[in-house]
Amino acid sequence: MTIIIDDAGVGDLLFGVVIGAFRNSTQEFRYEILDVKYFRPPRFNQKEYLKQASKAVFKLLDKLKLKPDEPIHICRGYIFDEAVKDLTKKYGNDRIFRVKVTGEPQYLTETAYLDEIRNLGYRPLEERDKKRAKSFFHMMNWLRKNPDKLRYAKTGWPRLSRYRLFRSYNQVRSKESKR
């Protein structure tokens, strides 16, 4: 038995992030959502998403009722850096493995993320993994057409200030937060 942990949506413009956990022996799958607020100023700059990812991992292990000595394979993505430190403190170095997640755990986590963004009304590109830049601009254009959905956009990346859509949105948000 092994629990495999993966993420989906970290590099996408829409929604928060899905953290998925999969037990290979029983095919059990659970997921938690990191709210988009952790990917917006000021929380993004403070990297609060790392703490939240660690909390999500522990919640998932609790939901799956982690067995004594059961190995935990966790995606190499930076979003899990704090989780790996916390897991190592609690369970020791010999149970925690950083891996490239593939197969069913990756598919289920990605599908959960896609379902969440579809719930917003967004229709993702078919080959979004192969066309990351195209997917980003597809999401951005969808947000332009649906400005009421900007609250679901990750706006913490400094480079987004290049785009008028995010400059004006962040200016409005910062005025509101000063009140």
Could you tell me the pTM of the whole model? 0.90
User: Which tokens belong to 178?
Assistant: 């000063």
Dihedral of alpha carbons 72, 53, 100, 24, sign: positive
Nearest to 5 by CA among 47, 46, 63: 63
**What's the mean pLDDT in 90-108?**
96
**Domain span holding position 4:** 1-179
Q: Note the pLDDT tens digit of each residue in 108-117.
A: 999 999 999 9
Give the CATH number for residue 5. 3.30.420
Beta strands 96-99 and 17-23 are unpaired
CA atoms of 29 and 64, how far apart (whole Å): 8
**What's the mean pLDDT in 88-96?**
95
Whole-number pLDDT of residue 133: 72
Q: Is the model's pLDDT at 178 over the cut of 50? A: no
Q: Note the pLDDT tens digit of each residue in 153-163.
A: 999 988 888 88
Q: Note the pLDDT tens digit of each residue in 60-87.
A: 999 999 999 899 999 999 999 999 999 9
Nearest to 5 by CA among 154, 128, 24, 115: 24
Q: Residue 25 belongs to what H/E stretch?
A: none
CA atoms of 19 and 54, how far apart (whole Å): 10
Best mean pLDDT range from 78-92, 117-131, 133-147:
78-92
Domain count, the chain: 1
